[in-house]
Chain A
Amino acid sequence: MFHWLEKNPFFFAVGVFLVIAFAGLVEILPNFAEASRPVAGLRPYTVLELAGKEVYKKDNCIACHSQLIRPFKSETDRYGQYSLSGEYAYDRPFLWGSKRTGPDLHRVGNYRTTDWHENHMWEPTSVVPGSIMPAYKHQFTNVADIETAYAEAVTVKNIFKTPYGDDIKAGKEAWEAYKPKVLAEAKAVAAQMKNKDVKDMVAAGKVPEVVALIAYLNSLGAKRYEAKK
């Protein structure tokens, strides 16, 4: 039977494919049958938080920050309770990261404030002396794409049954109708900040990236499900 493998490049290619596909078939696929179940009471990210997640992706925070607290005492002491699979149920993509040049952020919302983040993003060494993180001043002037974030909410609601409210639906008109809610949420965050340009921009109906990012960072941790208990 081994003649065939060596004889014909086509059979050979099929053989290789079977051997390499097998691990994925057995190891990966069955897990999709058990779809990620959210922990009890977990709410999906709001549109502003989704926009913040895009900023997190765009400036590629996962290059240096993980979002995965491993079950060791040294990690739970430092960052809080270890991460549960169900907490990631609405994370598309997952943002666990693979390198901690900076600390883990999975529960950063539990112990940092809007004010702290504002100072930190403007000048990291002002709150963490010795920090090697670059300042992200451009996030104070760049406008976050809340419209695309809304499109993402619509997509995951319609295709992956993420439990968003009825006011999240497809089409430009629905977005225009929904937009004020996002702006109101942004205003609430900006009210706790001191940067004047940021406040002006929000008042003018634009959301600076830093506002969305802070909303996202504040949502990390237990806040998205403990509030409902």
Chain B
Amino acid sequence: MGIRELQGYATFFMTIIFVVLMYGYILYLYRSEKKGEKDYEKLGNIALDDEITSTPINTTDPISDEKKGAK
């Protein structure tokens, strides 16, 4: 197999993989929000409430924190 052929296959399959990953990520984003594990939109407030004295939106690891918040 020549380098050109390899290049062709690599391009094709990697593009497919990235497309699958992208769609997987979209699913992941919406599912985890539906299940109440996470609230992404809340993160938008980081820009609005950004005083050094204000309480951070997420203080620790986002995932465990979100879970606590959900309960």
Given the complex, which residues of A lie within 8 Å of B18, measured CB to CB? 19, 22
Contact B28 A7 (CB under 8 A): no
Contact B14 A26 (CB under 8 A): yes
Given the complex, which residues of B lie within 8 Å of A27, measured CB to CB? 11
Say whether B35 faces chain A, with CB atoms less than 8 Å apart. no
> A2-33 interface mask toward B, CB cutoff 8 Å, 1 = contact, 0 = none?
11001100000000000100100011001001
Given the complex, which residues of A lie within 8 Å of B28, measured CB to CB? 2
Given the complex, which residues of A lie within 8 Å of B3, measured CB to CB? 30, 33-34
Given the complex, which residues of A lie within 8 Å of B25, measured CB to CB? 2
> B6-36 interface mask toward A, CB cutoff 8 Å, 1 = contact, 0 = none?
1100110010001000001100100000000
Partner of A7, one of B10, B11, B61: B61
Contact B62 A30 (CB under 8 A): no
Q: Which DSSP category, helix, strand, loop or mixed, fits chain A's interface?
A: helix
Say whether B63 faces chain A, with CB atoms less than 8 Å apart. yes
Which of under 10, 10 to 19, 20 to 34, or 35 or more describes the interface residues of A?
Answer: 10 to 19
Q: How many A-B residue pairs have CB under 8 A?
A: 23
Given the complex, which residues of A lie within 8 Å of B14, measured CB to CB? 22, 26
Say whether B4 faces chain A, with CB atoms less than 8 Å apart. yes
Docked pose: A34 CA to B63 CA in angstroms: 48
Number of B residues, CB within 8 Å of A: 14
Minimal Cβ-Cβ distance residue in B for A4: B63
Partner of A26, one of B11, B24, B61: B11
Docked pose: A2 CA to B24 CA in angstroms: 9
Given the complex, which residues of B lie within 8 Å of A6, measured CB to CB? 62-63
Query: Which residues of chain B from 45 to 71 have any CB-CB distance to chain A below 8 Å in the complex?
Result: 61-63
Contact A26 B7 (CB under 8 A): yes
Given the complex, which residues of B lie within 8 Å of A3, measured CB to CB? 63
Docked pose: A30 CA to B7 CA in angstroms: 7
Given the complex, which residues of B lie within 8 Å of A2, measured CB to CB? 24-25, 28
Docked pose: A141 CA to B7 CA in angstroms: 51
Minimal Cβ-Cβ distance residue in A for B7: A30
Given the complex, which residues of B lie within 8 Å of A7, measured CB to CB? 61-63
Residue in A6, A7, A19 with the greatest tally of chain B CB atoms within 10 Å: A6
CB distance from A15 to the nearest CB of B (A): 10
CB distance from B56 to the nearest CB of A (A): 15
Docked pose: A19 CA to B14 CA in angstroms: 10
Contact B10 A26 (CB under 8 A): yes
Docked pose: A33 CA to B7 CA in angstroms: 12
Ordered by A's residue number, 16 sampled pairs between the chains whose C-beta atoms are within 8 Å are: A2-B24, A2-B25, A2-B28, A3-B63, A6-B62, A6-B63, A7-B61, A7-B62, A22-B14, A22-B18, A26-B7, A26-B10, A26-B14, A27-B11, A30-B4, A30-B6
